[in-house]
């Protein structure tokens, strides 16, 4: 049934009047793309999903049959993100090695993912933002050899997350003005290109959270609060939770410095509700900021033949 996704992809791409090259570039060859769209070739689900994401569309809503290998890749990606969010680099490293056992690592999507996680694991261990930024840029260039930071290229979710992680490292290095300019451009790009709300909510609130952090560090408290509110509204509208707690934490810091301290009690109650839920399910709250940029709510439904 994965080959049926190819014909669906073709229909969406043609409707959007986007070239095959724009979607396939850096991921698969043009020849493979032609056969994929005709239903003559198949890809593992993770790679197939990136092609939909480059169209700004969500593949979660499509009923699909996936192999056990596909399922294991998806499971491991979720578990690795969870490990990094909990600052558990050792477990993340073990799961990343397990990830390579479920794929031949020939496709650039998997190579890029491996390089990204490898860079983040090293960052957790030594907190060298400059080195991590360089390594993340190298990962991005696996699928975009001529990376254009003006956002004129079509980017999948994985690529956008790398862009945001690079920007996070800029923030850690104090490059706030450049980070602000880039994040404003990225947020505009996401709103324009990610027309599918289910896909937008996976990444737009994260970009807005980073932008709010930049504003806060520059003492632009009111701008930060406005940005946080927009991110929260996106989450509310789509019934998503990630990265709500990070937004609430930052909002609390902003409110303490603003003229809206009367909203602090409501903010505190929301954070307490999150703490309560995590305690109920006996889960650790995400504590690592780079991990917040990996976590998102999914609406996936799978059929495993």
Of 23, 43, 63, the residue at which a domain comes to its end is 63
**CA torsion sign, 277 to 279 to 284 to 290?**
positive
Residue 24 burial by CB count (10 A; 0-12/13-18/19+): exposed, middle or buried? buried
Q: Which domain holds residue 58?
A: 2-63
Take residue 273 and report the two structure tokens written for it.
């509700």
The answer to whether position 128 is within a domain reads no
The answer to whether position 133 is within a domain reads no
- SS3 assignment, position 168: helix
Q: Which pLDDT value is given to residue 196?
A: 86
- Which of 152, 141, 139, 69 lies closest to 104, judged by CA? 69
Q: Tens digits of per-residue pLDDT, 212-247?
A: 999 999 999 999 999 999 999 999 998 888 899 999
Q: Where residue 13 sits, what CATH number does that domain have? A: 1.10.260.40
The answer to whether position 71 is within a domain reads no
- SS3 assignment, position 302: strand
Number of domains the chain contains: 2
Non-local (6+) Cβ contacts of 26 within 8 A are 108, 142, 143, 144, 145
The answer to whether position 126 is within a domain reads no
Q: Residues of the chain whose pLDDT is less than 70?
A: 1-3, 61-65, 147-152, 282, 297-305
The answer to whether position 81 is within a domain reads no
The Cα–Cα gap between 252 and 303 comes to 42
The answer to whether position 234 is within a domain reads yes
The whole-model pTM stands at 0.91
Q: Which pLDDT value is given to residue 247?
A: 96
The answer to whether position 12 is within a domain reads yes
The answer to whether position 36 is within a domain reads yes
- SS3 assignment, position 303: strand
- SS3 assignment, position 65: strand
């Amino acid at each position: 049934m994965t080959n049926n996704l190819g014909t669906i992809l073709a229909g969406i791409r043609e409707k959007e009047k986007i070239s095959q090259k724009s979607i396939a570039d850096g991921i698969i060859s043009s020849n493979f793309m032609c056969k994929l769209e005709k239903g003559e070739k198949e890809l593992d689900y993770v790679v197939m999903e990136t092609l939909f994401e480059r169209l700004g569309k969500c593949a979660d809503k499509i009923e699909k049959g996936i192999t056990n290998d596909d399922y294991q890749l998806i499971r491991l990606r979720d578990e690795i993100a969870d490990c990094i969010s909990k600052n558990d680099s050792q477990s993340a490293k073990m799961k990343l090695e397990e990830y390579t056992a479920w794929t031949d690592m020939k496709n650039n999507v998997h190579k890029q993912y491996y390089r990204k996680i490898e860079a983040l694991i090293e960052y957790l261990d030594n907190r060298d933002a400059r080195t991590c930024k360089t390594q993340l840029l190298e990962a991005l260039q696996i699928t975009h050899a001529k990376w254009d930071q003006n956002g004129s290229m079509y980017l999948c979710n994985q690529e956008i997350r790398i862009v945001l992680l690079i920007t996070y490292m800029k923030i850690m290095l104090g490059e706030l003005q450049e980070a602000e300019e880039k994040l404003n451009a990225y947020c505009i790009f996401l709103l324009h290109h990610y027309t599918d709300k289910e896909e937008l909510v996976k990444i737009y609130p994260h970009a807005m959270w980073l932008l709010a952090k930049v504003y806060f560090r520059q003492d632009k408290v009111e701008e930060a609060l406005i940005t946080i509110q927009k991110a929260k509204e996106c989450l509310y509208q789509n019934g998503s939770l990630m990265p709500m707690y990070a937004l609430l934490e930052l909002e609390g810091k902003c409110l303490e410095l603003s003229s809206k301290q009367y909203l602090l009690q409501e903010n505190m109650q929301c954070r307490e509700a999150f703490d309560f839920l995590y305690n109920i399910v006996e889960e650790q709250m995400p504590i690592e900021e780079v991990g917040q940029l990996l976590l998102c709510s999914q609406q996936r439904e799978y059929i495993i033949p």
